[in-house]
Amino acid sequence: MSTSQTTPTPADAAADAAAPAASAADPRLLVRRQGLGGYAEEFRRRIKSGDLGSLPVVIGLVLIAVIFQSVTGHFLQADNLTNITKWIAGPGLIAVGVVFVLLLGEIDLSLGSVAGVSAAVTSVLAVREGLNEGLAILLALAAAVALGALHGFFFARIGVPAFVVTLAGMLAWSGLQDYVLGKLGTVNNINDGIVANLDTYFLGDGDVLYAWLLAVLAVAAFLTAQLLDARRRTAAGLPARSTGEIALRTGALAVLALTGAYMLNQDRGLPLPLVVLLGVVVLTDFVLRRTSYGRQIFAVGGGVEAARRAGINVARVRISVFMLSALLAGLGGLFIASQQGSADKQLGSGNVLMSAIAAAVIGGTSLFGGRGKTWSALLGILVIQSITTGLDMVHAAQAIQYMITGAVLLAAVVLDSLTRRTRTAGRS
Amino acid sequence: MTGAPVLALREVSKRFGAVQALTDVDLDVHAGEVVALVGDNGAGKSTLVKTIAGVHPIDEGTISWEGRPVRIERPQDAQALGVATVYQDLALCDNLDVVANLFLGRELRRHGTLDEVAMERRAKELLDTLSIRIPSVRIPIAALSGGQRQVVAIARALVGDPKIVILDEPTAALGVEQTAQVLDLVERLRERGLGVILISHNMADVKAVADTVAVLRLGRNNGVFPVADTSHEEIISAITGATDNAVTRRQARIAEEAK
């Protein structure tokens, strides 16, 4: 590279290995300077290279909050924020499933209908058939997984494009939902039953302890994980995050978590839907980043042939992802049913699916596969729900809401496409 | 290059329907030897390496590994023996970083989760011993140049500690400097005692790194030459069949009759 191009003798190779300082001096090597200055430098480099991560969506959220707060004067009040965190659970869970499918570079259009089927099956079994409600929920979720397996089978084994399979699924399962619900078409939730409580329950019936506890535990767990990781990396002679950087990150998380806990406690405490959504996001994020299975999903999304040659069972990964997304959609359907008080024929239709897909993309998950996080589902659905809630507060018409949400989605996809272009510009 | 070959093919034939792709092909690869496999388009180079890599099982003939006859029916068989193949299309995942690509399909785990620290450390060790310089082991493959991708793909083949590495036209799409990097790497593989099968159309590359040149022509052996005392022209004529003319045929016939 910077040295001569002649064949290196073993002595040269030994000298190279013995002098890591020499390789660090190569101006093309990306070695981050220690300390916060190095961090800022790295940050600038990433912005310049188009690797924006979650930055645009965070800026967007702040903008939305500032705008609606200044227009309405009560957007940032505790009860409104609490309501937003409750409303995002259903579509947010579906959006997490969408993230998985998008990571494969595919799309699942059936998730809204699957959510509807899941809610319909639960309520019909529990209310009309008198089955135990917990059992009914398990059966409904199992049914959702089975539908996902069916999509996955036709896509991965038969080779039908996922777009078409799930489009057929969207129509068919919407019909199934209608069929299951029967003539009346609406089944009210059992009073104070499990489904009814999903949306309305606050941990410890509003005890302030829970929100504080969750915030403190999350920050402590984050700090411990970061410190342990840094110690292992240092012990292995790898570049590790500096203590200052860990302190900065932990501090930011602490401010966010404690502010959130404070706001929630100003109202009714820690809502169950938020806990479930956060739990699912954390768990799925762990699966994606820390397990072989997660790595396989990214590999299939990044290059099917490469994944296959690496010995990955591509069909199994694809089918399992469709099953997982259907499971999450089924769970999301229950939260939506809880929120509207009943399972009906319209549940999961309309813009539920599109909001979920938009949320995943707005949050930064690529439509082209292989790049994204489940956190983007949470951030994206927060953006969409904040816009919807804010526009409701200023009594904007539905038409305006759709147009604005559409514009935000387009902006997100444009950003995604531009990022993709910058990222691949370096190849020869 | 003394001793028995690691890999020895004897009278290997392969048919695809009516097409006789390989006829009675012999090939020896020793430890620490770079064998260049050359031939015109359609000479059977790719088919031959695919039989070794287990993509196409052979129809006739024998394959011996370290002196024992073996059957290679599937890619997994070849991998289990210690044959690593780097295909022309590199089979890397663009979205994953270098470490993830090196260990794809054989991730190191600790308590059931990915052991990123151990993988990153081993990746660095591997790249250091091969003197491979890339900007960072944590940047996605998409951000690397063609030559860097090629060396990562080759390094990836080494993670499983193979004994034979097959490189299918590793320098085909590369510039001057990048080609030199890859050739350096091939020499380092030889220094580590690996047998290398190098498919190439580029005679300069072959002369630069190979110990032996095996020429295929129309699915048959057309000579095995030591590189050191074979001229460029001799190899070319073996490839193009310029030696296969009336004069050589007559000489062969006379030699045959003399027996």
Instruction: DSSP for chain B, please give it.
Output: --SS-SEEEEEEEEEETTEEEEEEEEEEE-TT-EEEEE--TTSSHHHHHHHHHTSS--SEEEEEETTEEE---SHHHHHHHTEEEE-SS----TTSBHHHHHTTTS--EETTEE-HHHHHHHHHHHHHHTT---S-TTSBGGGS-HHHHHHHHHHHHHTT--SEEEEESTTTT--HHHHHHHHHHHHHHHHTT-EEEEE-S-HHHHHHH-SEEEEEETTEEEEEEESTT--HHHHHHHHHTTTSSHHHHHHHHHHHHH-
- Look up tokens 């259009």; give the residue: A109
Residues B131, A232: C-beta atoms closer than 8 Å: no
Asked if A51 and A233 touch (Cβ cutoff 8 Å), the reply is: no
Residues of A in Cβ contact (< 8 Å) with B106: 310-311
* N-to-C CA span, chain A: 17
Residues A370, B94: C-beta atoms closer than 8 Å: yes
Torsion of the alpha carbons at A297, A300, A301 and A304, rounded to the nearest 10: -170
Q: What distance in Å separates the CA atoms of residue A118 and residue A325, rounded to the nearest whole number?
A: 13
Residues B91, A310: C-beta atoms closer than 8 Å: yes
pTM, two decimals, is: 0.84
Residues A292, B104: C-beta atoms closer than 8 Å: no
Higher pLDDT, A166 or A40: A166
| pLDDT classification of B53: cutoffs 50, 70, 90 | confident
Nearest to B168 by CA among B127, B201, B199, B136: B199
The helix/strand count (H/E) of chain A reads as 19, 2
What distance separates the 2 farthest-apart alpha carbons in chain B?
Answer: 73
Per-residue confidence (pLDDT) for residue A34, from 0 to 100 = 56
Q: What is the mean pLDDT of residues A313-317?
A: 94
Test the A interface: residue of B74, B88, B93 with most A CBs within 10 Å: B93
Torsion of the alpha carbons at B27, B29, B30 and B36, rounded to the nearest 10: 120
Q: Which of A7, A292, A371 sits opposite B95 (nearest CB)?
A: A371
Per-residue confidence (pLDDT) for residue A156, from 0 to 100 = 96
Note the residue count of chain B: 259
Report which secondary-structure segment, H or E, holds A131: none
Per-residue confidence (pLDDT) for residue A306, from 0 to 100 = 87
Per-residue confidence (pLDDT) for residue B245, from 0 to 100 = 63
| pLDDT classification of A22: cutoffs 50, 70, 90 | very low
Residues A17, B124: C-beta atoms closer than 8 Å: no
Residues of A in Cβ contact (< 8 Å) with B107: 292, 295
Two structure tokens written together for B207: 């002369």
Q: What distance in Å separates the CA atoms of residue A382 and residue A359, rounded to the nearest whole number?
A: 8
> Where do the domains of chain A lie, and which CATH numbers do they carry?
8-15+53-201+271-427 (1.10.3470), 204-270 (no CATH)
Percent of chain B exceeding pLDDT 90 equals 34
Q: What distance in Å separates the CA atoms of residue A400 and residue A405, rounded to the nearest whole number?
A: 9
Kindly report each contact of residues B171-175 with a partner whose C-beta sits within 8 Å and lies 24 or more positions away, as own/partner: B171/B200, B171/B202, B171/B205, B172/B88, B172/B201, B172/B202, B173/A428, B173/B146, B174/B146, B174/B147, B174/B150, B175/A428, B175/B146, B175/B147
Q: Is A186 helix (H, G, I), strand (E, B) or coil?
A: strand
- A296: pLDDT strictly greater than 50: yes
Asked if B39 and B45 touch (Cβ cutoff 8 Å), the reply is: yes
What is the nearest CA distance from B243 to chain A, expressed in angstroms?
34
Q: What distance in Å separates the CA atoms of residue A33 and residue A325, rounded to the nearest whole number?
A: 41
Q: Which of A13, A286, A292 sits opposite B107 (nearest CB)?
A: A292
What is the nearest CA distance from B131 to chain A, expressed in angstroms?
6
| pLDDT classification of A89: cutoffs 50, 70, 90 | very high
Per-residue confidence (pLDDT) for residue A19, from 0 to 100 = 39
Q: How do residues B121-133 score in pLDDT, each as one tens digit?
A: 999 988 888 878 8
